Structure 1
């Protein structure tokens, strides 16, 4: 963002002629993060509706009042559907929370149309694109003095073939939320020029050349990845903490976190504040970083302006971002709290697979793996007070893997 076009700080403008106090929350899409948010809100007695075309896991929660099925954020009729749903089901004035990447883009790009029916805790797209689209994020972060991974830009496959590239590299989609195989995989690795060009052509064929990001691979696995988790209001953090992705699945390029723990890492907090403050951010957010041991720098990777998979760690650590989101929406003051240390979150089924792999390759001792269970205070799906999602998670995951990976049904 150039100096001439930089957004001023502060809160986004009020959205529409609605009451300042929402009547409930409608969550668009998502899975484990949506489930954790619904539980935080449900414990406060807040009516929660789920609108989804994807993972039905959160709908099994006793805290989800009702689930509506739709064609998804990519459907041309998505905005009319949401407006009609508000009128038909009495959702006018509900807080609308997008919980997946495609839904984030839809809501941010349709703020004016949707704010006639809902309250929206998210900046419009002109602000939000500077953190959602990776090339814009890296450009603005560098201008703000935040470290970024070495990134290559090519205008054609031929230019990429001629370029001097330091391998290994990773290829990523510009922004998540796509339904193609490259977007669902999130990242592809290339160790030499031939492998890179093959992966680059395939990715460009699926999402377009301009939407493929090529970066130098930063060494290290999940243990090198850190996150900033927060709720922002009026361009300032209401509550925030740092966490470390101790393990992920798959272990080298994680599709999802499997073990996340609260840590103290002030560099993550400082860098994230620079990025989010620059656009006057508003709402829930996770900012991902990777520690580069070669020069001891924290390099920003991604910004997720929505509930994330390990969102339940926040409440377990005493910083219930979901409940705080409701308090802020209702205009109540929220006292800042420090997250409790030695608290972690686990996605048990996939962490068992990740842990087994790490132990088998001697990157983790079996004793250390089992000792990590001592700090777990939140699980991806299980909760003693809300048991059904935990019971359905394993068979549901197996069914989704079977239909999507092997039967190619989407």
Structure 2
């Protein structure tokens, strides 16, 4: 029964679509983020097709109708061609497309005209996406809008680094993060001296080119200083939104992904984020990441993700089902404005537990405080009693994920 549900439309979907084939969702990326989308829509009997260029867990969900392994999705033109070809072969005309990675956002945006003729495509045009794809654009616009950002320096070579006169530590980060992450399996590198800064800048420049390397002040604090604003944004306002504290992340200092997140109420982050999104005429799902600087008390914008984010399934527990809001709007169904309630917690145990164990051993995390936080966590990223197979499969995939992504 489970296998049949992954390969064919369910009986209810077929009967509902006897007069007209039901519209479904094409989810690009099948890790826990894509799994959350499949569950959100599948619970409403929306057919879901998951495609990925990696071995992923969403294909094992009872809510996934089709699961397709494809060649690499990292190159934009190739990804757009694969998506469009798959749409024609599986007859997915009019389906809603959900990207889960930044390079897919870029592919959908740059080749939007051709893709939008076949799919319902929420990803905005490049005139909008360019402001979030490249952090140089993001920070420039944020500063023009009066939003605080970390002090950032750009150098065309190691010879220009003496212009960085601030005191360490520094973060060496990419302007276009996917290029750097796939090469290094890291989100950023830490430099504790100017000599180390020169060395790491040279290594980063050799990997992605000096023009994509940023030197940034390292704002003090751990995940407890990390916040985010999440929304389904349309016509200059949030239809659905929530604000969160990204309390723990993996790795602890430069987190590639959040591991423990709680909803919280910080109105100023809503105001700041919506100012930015209105300025770029944004539509769709989005996450804006901030860090609270204890030195001046300012929330400083770090990143903007023009797609679903890893912990988006926290939204449904807080009263904001982000994937379905987008789906309903694109199909012309009425959607009511909603705002996530504070005090709901989400955890990704497969990365949170080992990260916390190391922090406890290093004396940076209290064991009992950690245990109490787990008791408060009402939502686990993958495990679900109604859909248990993805969690079982993920445990077996840990070695693969560690090699493929650095986990």
TM-score (norm: length of structure 1):
0.90
State the partner residue of 1:92: 93
Deviation string 1:131-167 (CA, Å, 9 cap, x unpaired) is 2210100010011111100001212221114542431
Give 1:318 shift.
Answer: 1.4
Give 1:322 shift.
Answer: 1.4
Q: Distance in 2 between matches of 1:88 and 1:47?
A: 16
CA separation of 1:237 and 1:316: change in aligned 2, threshold 3 A: same
CA separation of 1:118 and 1:382: change in aligned 2, threshold 3 A: same
Give 1:22 shift.
Answer: 8.0
State the partner residue of 2:352: 351
Q: Which stretch shows the higher mean deviation, 364-373 or 102-111? A: 364-373
**Structure 2: where are the runs of 5+ without partners?**
1-20
CA separation of 1:180 and 1:310: change in aligned 2, threshold 3 A: closer
Q: Distance in 1 between matches of 2:306 and 2:403?
A: 30
Give 1:30 shift.
Answer: 5.1
Residue 190 (structure 1) aligned with residue 191 (structure 2): yes
Deviation string 1:222-258 (CA, Å, 9 cap, x unpaired) is 1110011111123321111100011112222222211
Deviation string 1:257-283 (CA, Å, 9 cap, x unpaired) is 111000111121111101111111111
Q: Distance in 1 between matches of 2:182 and 2:329?
A: 38
Q: Distance in 1 between matches of 2:44 and 2:124?
A: 25
State the partner residue of 1:235: 236
Deviation string 1:54-112 (CA, Å, 9 cap, x unpaired) is 24121111111112222233344332222221111111111111110110110011111
Give 1:182 shift.
Answer: 4.7
Alignment of 1:102-181 (within 5 A): 102-161=103-162, 163-178=164-179
Alignment of 1:252-331 (within 5 A): 252-331=253-332
Larger RCO (CA under 8 A, 6+ residues apart): 1
RMSD, aligned α-carbons: 1.9
Give 1:200 shift.
Answer: 0.7
Give 1:51 shift.
Answer: 1.5
State the partner residue of 1:390: 391
**Structure 1: where are the runs of 5+ without partners?**
1-20
Tell me the secondary structure at the aligned position of residue 185 of structure 2. helix
Tell me the secondary structure at the aligned position of residue 77 of structure 1. helix
Do the aligned partners of 1:132 and 1:302 also contact (CA within 8 Å) in 2?
no
Residue 43 (structure 1) aligned with residue 43 (structure 2): yes
Q: Distance in 1 between matches of 2:131 and 2:68?
A: 31
TM-score (norm: length of structure 2):
0.90
Tell me the secondary structure at the aligned position of residue 268 of structure 1. helix
Tell me the secondary structure at the aligned position of residue 240 of structure 1. strand
Question: How many pairs were matched up?
Answer: 386
Q: Which stretch shows the higher mean deviation, 273-282 or 350-359? A: 350-359
Do the aligned partners of 2:171 and 2:215 also contact (CA within 8 Å) in 1?
yes
Give 1:179 shift.
Answer: 7.0
CA separation of 1:69 and 1:178: change in aligned 2, threshold 3 A: farther
